[in-house]
Amino acid sequence: MKYLRQFGIILFISFLGEIANYAIPLPIPASIYGIIILFLCLELKILPLSSVKETGKFLIEIMPVMFIPAAAGVLNVWGIIKPSVIEYIAVMVISTIAVMAVSGLVTQLVIRLTGHSGHQ
């Protein structure tokens, strides 16, 4: 029952992100609004971490499975993508390396500024 309650909280916050996406005329995906709302609720102690921790961890663990529908969608448009596949691969590789580098640098900066690595 605990997991259903936690999942319900996450879904409700995702729903709030959808409402924010509808109400705020910016080209930002609803999922980003939801992540920001969840972050603010956790950071401002409106929502204790324990109320979403286990289900959040589970969702992160199964994240690769969530990409299967997107991969299947690529197969549906393969005829369109095929002539530019080298360009698509180059963009994916470059953007992946850039995201990894920026994430690593930001993490190192946060560790230096806070003085600890978060290990308990």
Query: What is the structure's pLDDT at 120?
Result: 54
Separation between Cα atoms, residue 112 and residue 118, nearest integer Å = 11
pLDDT of residue 118: 59
Instruction: Count the neighbouring beta carbons within 10 Å of the beta carbon of residue 31.
Output: 12
**Which residue carries 């850039």 as its tokens?**
98
| DSSP-derived 3-state class of residue 8 | helix
Q: What is the identity of the amino acid at 39?
A: F
Instruction: Provide the CB-side half-sphere exposure for 45 (13 A, CA).
Output: 0
pLDDT tens-place values along the chain, 120 residues long: 899 999 999 999 999 999 999 999 899 999 999 999 999 999 999 999 999 999 999 999 999 898 888 888 888 888 998 999 999 999 999 999 999 999 999 999 999 988 776 555
Residue 37: in which H helix or E strand, if any? helix 30-43
Percent of the chain with pLDDT over 70: 96
pTM given for the model: 0.65
Question: Taking a C-beta distance cutoff of 8 angstroms, is the pair 10, 38 a contact?
Answer: yes
- Express each pLDDT in 75-110 by its tens digit: 888 899 899 999 999 999 999 999 999 999 999 999
